[in-house]
Amino acid sequence: MGWRRAENGESGPVGKYRGEVVYLYAYDIANEIVTPVKQVLGFPVERFAVNAHRRNPRQMFFEPPWMVRLPAQDRQGPTGTLQVHRTVKILEVGAVCIAARVSVDVDRFEDLIAYHDLEFTDGNLTEEIRDLADRIRAELAPHCVRPVSELADDEAYTVFCIQSAPLATDSLSFNAVNWLESRRRDVAALLTQEENASFLSVQESEETTSRYLSYYESDLIVVDWDAALIVDEPCNFEPIVYVMEMANLQLAELETYDRMLDAALNRAYADLRGRSRRSRREILREFREFRVDLSRFNDQLSNITKFFGDWHLARVYQALADRFHLSEWHRILDEKLKTLDEQYQLLQQDQLNRWMLVLELLIVLMFVLDIIILLVELFKEPLMELYRGP
């Protein structure tokens, strides 16, 4: 994307918008992946490494995921033949992330909207990725603890990565923030998948593009709840997309966490109403195991994106966390977990009351038995004399 100075003194675009569109998908496949995975679908597994060029942590405080690179596929897309590059990331938390990349080279910015939800002449990308995820789920099942029998709905996120021009033709530096200010409505239309940007209100345009970040004058990141725009040099795309991928995964895992808690709460209500045929001991043992699983799950989920300090990638993650309302998810889930604890405390107290009642009955029986024994001893001699007669 080149830039020139127009006759009226304003800058305008020259050339094409080039870069790539990355489609991120996250799936929960198990509680945990415990045994090493050597290959997936016949392709070798390698450790993923974040290659950050800006000021970032020298040491990442989390375990990087395993990654598999799948062969590229040629498909017919909105502008002709596309080459789809797919990578799979496997995390010990029991999740799989699949990223599909396609190159873009269009004349107009609004032409990028056709790539928001990628459609092929014989299908769409989302369905193909889900089929791929299901095959991976089946293959990884022996390595997992409590693998799911069926995939839940995917958590998808689209990232538009556009190359920035470092210098204008008149030697003036390209200012990405100024570019955003002049094209807020177009950027908002891209992120919200609105084909006609003029239909968007000023309020919607400003709200959609309100969360943006810039490190240098020539780079820009705009994040929304369903898509993001990166304007930068190609070498900087990968680490930013990775942070977005992990934030998207965290949202998917929180949704899984929410479903687990809902199911546990329903069981707890049934147990309290006495509709369950299970014994109190079995119910409490299951709850203790479930509580330990949730604690481990929460720790692993927190370790997915653990950054310390005011680094650029940490800022990107925080912007995404705000857009995804991750703190609200955590608050709601903590409240559900607290409710679940209270329900089983009631159940445990009910069991304790039952035992106390049994103990009290035993004490009463022992007291009655003791009285009977005393009465027998007291009337034993008179009864014996009466029996012998005069």
What is the pLDDT, as a whole number, of residue 190?
94
What is the arithmetic mean of pLDDT over 162-189? 76
What is the pLDDT, as a whole number, of residue 10?
40
**What span, in angstroms and rounded, lies between the C-alpha atoms of 347 and 351?**
6
What is the pLDDT, as a whole number, of residue 170?
47
What is the pLDDT, as a whole number, of residue 225?
92
Residue of higher predicted confidence among 361 and 265: 361
What is the arithmetic mean of pLDDT over 289-318? 71
**Residue pLDDT, tens place only, 96-146:** 999 999 999 888 889 999 999 888 888 889 999 999 999 999 999 998 888
What is the arithmetic mean of pLDDT over 279-290? 71
Structure tokens at 192: 């919200």
Instruction: Confirm whether pTM is higher than 0.85.
Output: no
Residue 363, exposed/middle/buried by CB under 10 A (0-12, 13-18, 19+)? exposed
Structure tokens at 313: 């990638």
Residue 74, exposed/middle/buried by CB under 10 A (0-12, 13-18, 19+)? exposed
Tell me which of 113-122, 221-230, 241-250, 339-348 is least confident: 339-348
What is the pLDDT, as a whole number, of residue 166?
40
**What span, in angstroms and rounded, lies between the C-alpha atoms of 180 and 109?**
12
Residue of higher predicted confidence among 268 and 135: 135
Average pLDDT, the chain: 81
What is the pLDDT, as a whole number, of residue 15?
41
What is the pLDDT, as a whole number, of residue 148?
87
Query: Does residue 187 surpass a pLDDT of 90?
Result: yes
What is the pLDDT, as a whole number, of residue 3?
38
**Residue pLDDT, tens place only, 37-96:** 888 888 988 888 766 555 555 555 456 788 999 999 998 887 788 899 999 999 888 899
What is the arithmetic mean of pLDDT over 249-262? 87
What is the pLDDT, as a whole number, of residue 62?
56
Torsion angles phi and psi, residue 249, rounded to 5: -65, -40
Sorted by sequence, the CB contacts under 8 Å of residue 84 that are 6+ apart come out as 72, 73, 74, 75, 100, 101, 102, 125
What is the arithmetic mean of pLDDT over 309-319? 79
Band the pLDDT of 11: cuts 50, 70, 90. very low
Residue type for 235, please?
Answer: C
Domain ranges of the chain: 2-236, 243-350
Closest among 136, 103, 107, 123 to 23, alpha carbons compared = 103
What is the arithmetic mean of pLDDT over 277-295? 71
What is the pLDDT, as a whole number, of residue 176?
87
What is the pLDDT, as a whole number, of residue 282?
72
**What span, in angstroms and rounded, lies between the C-alpha atoms of 215 and 221?**
9
Structure tokens at 349: 């107290």
Query: Does residue 290 surpass a pLDDT of 90?
Result: no
Band the pLDDT of 161: cuts 50, 70, 90. very high
Residue of higher predicted confidence among 236 and 307: 236
**Residue pLDDT, tens place only, 143-158:** 888 888 888 888 899 9
Band the pLDDT of 12: cuts 50, 70, 90. very low
**What span, in angstroms and rounded, lies between the C-alpha atoms of 34 and 143?**
6
Q: What is the DSSP string of 82-131?
A: EEEEEEEEEETTTEEEEEEEEEEEESSGGGGGGGSS-EETTEEHHHHHHH
- CA separation, residue 140 to residues 126, 151, 285, 306 (Å): 21, 13, 29, 26
Tell me which of 87-96, 178-187, 211-220, 272-281 is least confident: 272-281
Band the pLDDT of 344: cuts 50, 70, 90. confident
